[in-house]
Amino acid sequence: MSPLPSEPAERHRAVSRRFSEAVHGATDWDTPAPVDGWAARDVVRHLVEWFPGFLEGGTGLRLPPGPSVDDDPVGAWDAHAAAVQGVLDDPETAGRTFSNPHTGDHPLARAIDQFYTSDVFMHTWDLARSTGQDDTLDADTCAQMLEGMAPIDELLRSSGQYGPRVPVADDAPVQDRLMGFIGRDPAWRP
């Protein structure tokens, strides 16, 4: 697997392409997902539904709506991913600032990369595992994310965005350690 690009627009392109492969490879949208109470469809729903409000609240930018996740999860994801990529590729938004009372001010591309693209990266494992596809993630990115998140463990847990840590051996593959850190059991199967 090639390392992910470092530039936010190209990283999003690569990460969303990988998630798109899992979306297009899914055949049962009602199969359970590794997040308690979620089905495969809910993994897509999460990404398609939380980010538009976050983006609009921090920039005033409104993504165009796509199909309903309930009616067309593939179409919903494709429209959403294209809209986010459009924001990242648009020279008009290049100099914009994302401002949020919880996260502070960030250049827009960096905010998308830090808060959204990283979420897509981690949820790729959820969707691929749920639907019986290859769930291998880029090991270097897993290591970077784990290294960056470990010092703020308590903050992440208190946010309600991550489940309780799942114990994983210290010498387990880095992907398993990242999944355990964010509250996924690396051995989970539907």
The answer on pLDDT for 1 being more than 60 is no
More confident residue, 13 or 94: 13
Domains of the chain, by residue range, sit at 8-136, 138-185
SS (H, E, C) 129-146: HHCCCCCCCCHHHHHHHH
Mean pLDDT of all residues in 98-106: 91
Q: Which helix (H) or strand (E) holds 15?
A: helix 8-25
Q: Are 124 and 18 in contact (CB under 8 A)?
A: yes
| Predicted local distance difference test score (pLDDT) of residue 162 | 83
Q: b/e string for 76-113 if b means 16 or more Cβ within 10 A?
A: bbbbbbebbbebbeeeeeeebebeeeeeeebebbebbb
Q: pTM for the full model?
A: 0.94
pLDDT tens digit sequence for 24-67: 999 999 999 999 999 999 999 999 999 999 999 999 999 999 99
CB atoms within 10 A of CB 54: 16
Distance CA 104, CA 92 (A): 22
The superfamily (CATH) of domain 8-136 is dinb family like domain (1.20.120.450)
Instruction: Give the highest mean pLDDT range of 18-27, 97-106, 162-171.
Output: 18-27
pLDDT tens digit sequence for 107-158: 999 999 999 999 999 999 999 999 999 999 999 999 999 999 888 888 787 7
